[in-house]
């Protein structure tokens, strides 16, 4: 028997060409050899019968559990495998049993946790899924990301998916059912959005319907995406339109792409009132849609009774005839407008002659550059082309704090905007003494000095077992506000606007740029050395410099504990010291609104989570190699985030020891920072 080639990669799960011997995505060998199937003895299977189990031998090593299928009856971490369900791009799903209950066991492909493009989203989604407690969401029983292979277990939901219902039971698909489903979908969307998740990638396959018309959203339909609430409304409207439409090509007419390009086509046999509501949900202009899920919920409850609602007659939706594209007679004819392009060329040559030969100055005379607004950005054509922000040899008073090719710092003096070629030549005196530089300013009054000390890093309640020594440093009492950020940087896309609110949704790399700009503005030695641009940037820190920087994770934890063993910074009662989900309504608050900890520092717990300097490593604190001023792993891909925020409830994620991680190239809602300075 000839070799059979897998249609899906056995390593990463992506679909590959039938004749491909190697996966074009991960490069793994996909040749399956010695496939032994006794079709004569197996016979023809019934439509709903169990799949025939075949014994397959793969040419590559099969000792890795990520790529070895589990057979019925086998045990995996205490779960008995009943049968394989399906697989997707992330992993393989099984129906498994434990203590008489059935669960969905999903074993992740090893590549899901090696691909940096998807690793962060996957980890953030999994960490939030376990926090959801809603009847309409499939309950997550267990998530083990550090296990090899990684896996998750969720409740097995009895019922049929809406896709299955539409395909095999069309008599049950009607508007009355949709009116029951819609409020439940809205409730589910609200529940996941509280945890920074979204239903924007949900499909009919991800919605299960029980016999009593109760829906359950499967975890596969929940994504970690930072989207506007109106995008979830769009998804809910799209799913309802797909479910109600009787057109055989409903999946094209009411697809995401078509609905964003074309006006919503009313659905025949559906009430005019519901059609109008769906049109509001699916408007191509996001500003014309219903703005909140609460408004959508209210609109659904105010729909007239189905019996008294006029229905829209059957609508014939005509899709573009793509076959005409190949007909050359229907294509527009193009002609070269020689006169037009000749005129453009003449204008270009004239402008080049005027500005390239100095003819402009001869005709109009040379003029001084006009004065520009003091808060405008430095013109792009004057940005430095070096990889360094400022030459280290220049005195602080001569450094141009706004000259940078990787950030857009503000506050540029009028003298700096003058063309240096037109300034008078300096009167240089040989062997003269350099002009004295003004001494660096003392830390502002809002900073607190932390004395050199030792403490138990990475442990709570073991203050006598000190394992780390830190030098003295200054730290800000408050998180950096939007007004402070906007002095030097472009305004961020913050979660809640307000000059006195903490800034959030700013990337770790932009924070490094901000710190250097603030240091230069105050005649301090910048702590960060930034090389490269974009995702290729490399940042090193001079911890001896007196400029502003982020705290190391050890410094942050020392200040958060403040020589106490509380679960939260300053108290075991989070309501006293933190703005969190139970008392903030998910809104940011001005720093300093709660009680400080013993060091006089505010909001180390709650309000916004805070970036720190260190690269993230789950095992770093437990395996410390440096016990004097530790600065974290030397390399990594993610940076550490500490402190919890207004979206967290009291408990694990708000606890003083909880560690998050994030991509330093992007910002996150409700993640900000505070500043420190070395002593």
Residue 116 scores a pLDDT above 80: no
Q: Per the domain annotation, does 410 fall within a domain? A: no
Inter-CA distances, 151 with 93, 110, 477, Å: 10, 10, 41
CA angle 471, 475, 476 (to 5 degrees): 175
Q: Per the domain annotation, does 81 fall within a domain? A: yes
Confidence label for 115 from pLDDT (cuts 50, 70 and 90): low
Query: Tens of pLDDT along 481-540?
Result: 999 999 999 999 999 999 999 999 999 999 999 999 999 999 999 999 998 877 778 999
Q: Per the domain annotation, does 395 fall within a domain? A: no
Query: Tens of pLDDT along 186-212?
Result: 999 999 899 888 998 899 988 999 988
Spell out the long-range contacts of 258-262 with Cβ–Cβ below 8 A and sequence spacing 24 or more: 259/234, 259/284, 260/284
- Distance, CA of 635 to CA of 615 (rounded, Å): 6
The predicted structure's pLDDT at residue 565: 87
**Least confident interval from 48-57, 221-230, 551-560, 603-612:** 48-57
Mean pLDDT, the chain, rounded, equals: 77
Confidence label for 27 from pLDDT (cuts 50, 70 and 90): low
Confidence label for 36 from pLDDT (cuts 50, 70 and 90): very low
The predicted structure's pLDDT at residue 316: 54
Could you tell me which of 511, 509, 486, 513 has the C-alpha nearest to residue 497? 486
Query: Tens of pLDDT along 7-17?
Result: 566 555 566 66
Confidence label for 63 from pLDDT (cuts 50, 70 and 90): very low
Confidence label for 21 from pLDDT (cuts 50, 70 and 90): low
209 and 141 fall within a common domain:
no
Query: Tens of pLDDT along 441-456?
Result: 577 889 999 999 988 8
Q: What percent of the chain has pLDDT over 90?
A: 42
Confidence label for 412 from pLDDT (cuts 50, 70 and 90): very low
**Structure tokens of 422?**
């037109």
Residue 594 scores a pLDDT above 70: yes
Q: Per the domain annotation, does 422 fall within a domain? A: no
The predicted structure's pLDDT at residue 438: 39
Residue 463 scores a pLDDT above 50: yes
Phi/psi for 86 (5° steps) reads -170, -175
Residue 430 neighbours by CB distance under 10 Å:
4
Helix (H) or strand (E) holding 342: helix 338-356
Distance, C-alpha 72 to centroid of its chain = 38
150 and 221 fall within a common domain:
no
pLDDT mean over 276-302: 91
Confidence label for 23 from pLDDT (cuts 50, 70 and 90): low
The predicted structure's pLDDT at residue 431: 40
**Structure tokens of 103?**
């669960």
Confidence label for 128 from pLDDT (cuts 50, 70 and 90): confident
Helix (H) or strand (E) holding 57: strand 55-58
Q: Per the domain annotation, does 222 fall within a domain? A: yes
Phi/psi for 653 (5° steps) reads -70, -15
Q: Are 560 and 656 in contact (CB under 8 A)?
A: yes
pLDDT mean over 426-440: 40
226 and 354 fall within a common domain:
no
Q: Quick check: pTM over 0.85?
A: no
Domain with residue 482: its CATH number is: 3.90.1580.10
Final residue before a domain boundary, out of 320, 354, 381: 320
Residue 173 scores a pLDDT above 50: yes
Query: Tens of pLDDT along 228-277?
Result: 899 999 999 999 999 999 888 888 889 988 898 888 999 999 999 999 99
116 and 175 fall within a common domain:
no
pLDDT mean over 9-29: 60
102 and 167 fall within a common domain:
no
- Identify the residue with better confidence: 455 or 51: 455
Residue 429 scores a pLDDT above 70: no
292 and 358 fall within a common domain:
no
Confidence label for 132 from pLDDT (cuts 50, 70 and 90): confident
Query: Tens of pLDDT along 209-232?
Result: 998 899 999 887 888 877 889 999
Helix (H) or strand (E) holding 575: helix 574-577
496 and 596 fall within a common domain:
yes
Confidence label for 111 from pLDDT (cuts 50, 70 and 90): low
174 and 145 fall within a common domain:
no
Residue 285 scores a pLDDT above 70: yes
Q: Per the domain annotation, does 661 fall within a domain? A: yes
The predicted structure's pLDDT at residue 570: 94
How buried is residue 148: exposed, middle or buried, by Cβ count under 10 Å (0-12/13-18/19+)?
Answer: exposed
Residues in the chain: 679
Confidence label for 178 from pLDDT (cuts 50, 70 and 90): very high
> What's the number of domains the chain is made of?
4
Query: Tens of pLDDT along 551-587?
Result: 999 999 999 999 888 999 999 999 999 999 999 988 9
CA angle 302, 305, 310 (to 5 degrees): 110
Domain with 283 in it: 160-320
Residue 396 scores a pLDDT above 60: no
The predicted structure's pLDDT at residue 12: 56
Residue 360 neighbours by CB distance under 10 Å:
14
- Distance, CA of 318 to CA of 324 (rounded, Å): 14
295 and 151 fall within a common domain:
no
E-state strands within 412-508 = 447-450, 453-455, 468-470, 473-476
Residue 345 scores a pLDDT above 90: no
542 and 621 fall within a common domain:
yes
Q: What are the start-end ranges of the H helices in 74-226? A: 116-129, 162-168, 175-193
Q: Per the domain annotation, does 664 fall within a domain? A: yes
The predicted structure's pLDDT at residue 650: 80
Domain with residue 96: its CATH number is: 3.30.200.20
DSSP symbol at 502 = B
630 and 554 fall within a common domain:
yes
Confidence label for 430 from pLDDT (cuts 50, 70 and 90): very low
Q: Per the domain annotation, does 295 fall within a domain? A: yes
Across 91-105, 278-292, 662-676, the highest mean pLDDT is recorded for 662-676
314 and 349 fall within a common domain:
no
């Amino acid at each position: 028997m000839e070799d059979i080639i897998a249609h899906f990669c056995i390593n990463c799960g992506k679909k590959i060409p039938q004749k491909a011997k190697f996966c074009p995505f991960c490069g793994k060998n996909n040749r399956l050899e010695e496939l032994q199937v006794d079709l004569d003895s197996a016979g023809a299977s019934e439509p709903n019968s169990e799949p025939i189990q075949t014994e397959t031998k793969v040419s590559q090593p099969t000792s890795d559990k990520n790529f070895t299928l589990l057979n019925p009856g086998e045990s995996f971490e205490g779960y008995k495998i009943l049968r394989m369900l399906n697989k997707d791009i992330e992993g393989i799903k099984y129906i498994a049993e434990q203590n008489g209950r059935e669960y969905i066991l999903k074993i992740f492909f090893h590549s899901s946790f090696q691909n940096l493009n998807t690793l962060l989203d996957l980890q953030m989604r999994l960490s939030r899924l376990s926090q959801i407690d809603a009847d309409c969401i499939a309950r997550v029983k267990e998530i083990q990301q550090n296990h090899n292979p990684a896996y998750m277990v969720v409740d097995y939901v009895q019922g049929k998916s809406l896709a299955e219902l539409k395909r095999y039971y069309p008599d049950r698909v009607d508007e009355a059912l949709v009116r029951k489903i819609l409020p439940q979908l809205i409730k589910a969307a609200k529940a996941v959005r509280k945890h920074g998740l979204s239903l924007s990638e949900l499909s009919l396959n991800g919605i299960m319907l029980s016999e009593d018309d109760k829906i359950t959203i499967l975890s596969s339909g929940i994504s970690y995406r930072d989207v506007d609430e109106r995008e979830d409304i769009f998804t809910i409207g799209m799913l309802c339109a797909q479910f109600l439409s009787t057109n055989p090509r409903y999946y094209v007419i009411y697809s995401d792409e078509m609905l964003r390009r074309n006006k919503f086509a009313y659905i025949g046999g559906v009430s005019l009132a519901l059609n109008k509501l769906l049109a509001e949900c699916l408007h191509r202009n996001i500003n014309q849609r219903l703005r909140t899920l609460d408004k959508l919920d209210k609109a659904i409850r105010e729909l007239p009774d189905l019996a008294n609602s006029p229905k829209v007659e059957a609508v014939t939706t005509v899709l573009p005839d793509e076959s005409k594209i190949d007909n050359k007679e229907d294509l527009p004819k193009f002609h070269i407008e020689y006169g037009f392009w000749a005129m453009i060329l003449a204008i270009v040559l004239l402008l080049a002659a005027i500005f390239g030969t100095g003819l402009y100055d001869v005709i109009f005379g040379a003029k001084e550059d006009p004065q520009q607004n003091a808060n405008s950005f430095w013109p792009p054509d004057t940005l430095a082309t070096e990889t360094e922000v400022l030459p280290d040899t220049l005195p602080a008073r001569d450094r141009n704090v706004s000259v940078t090719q990787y950030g857009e710092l503000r506050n540029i003096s009028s003298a700096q905007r003058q063309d240096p070629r037109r300034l008078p030549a300096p009167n240089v005196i040989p062997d003269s003494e350099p002009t004295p530089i003004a001494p660096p300013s003392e830390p502002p009054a809002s900073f607190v000095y932390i004395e050199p000390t030792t403490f138990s890093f990475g442990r709570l309640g073991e203050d006598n077992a000190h394992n780390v020594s830190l030098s003295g440093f200054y730290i800000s009492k408050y998180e950096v506000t939007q007004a402070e950020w906007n002095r030097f940087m472009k305004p961020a896309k913050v979660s809640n606007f307000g000059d006195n609110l903490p800034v959030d949704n700013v990337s770790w790399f932009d924070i490094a740029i901000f710190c250097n700009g603030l240091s230069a503005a105050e005649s301090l030695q910048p702590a960060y050395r930034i090389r490269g641009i974009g995702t290729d940037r490399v940042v090193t820190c001079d911890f001896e410099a007196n400029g502003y920087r982020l705290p190391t994770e050890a410094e942050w934890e020392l200040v958060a504990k403040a020589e106490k063993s509380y679960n939260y910074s300053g108290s075991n009662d989070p309501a006293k010291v933190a703005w969190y989900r139970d008392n903030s309504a998910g809104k940011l608050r001005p720093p300093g609104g709660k009680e400080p900890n013993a060091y006089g520092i505010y909001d180390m717990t709650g309000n916004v989570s805070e970036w720190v300097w260190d690269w993230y490593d789950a095992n770093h604190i437990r395996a410390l190699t440096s016990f004097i001023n530790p600065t974290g792993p030397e390399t990594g891909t993610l940076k550490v985030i500490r402190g919890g925020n207004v979206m967290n409830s009291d408990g694990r994620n708000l606890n003083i020891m909880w560690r998050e991680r994030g991509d330093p190239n992007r910002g996150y809602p409700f993640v900000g920072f505070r500043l420190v300075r070395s002593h």
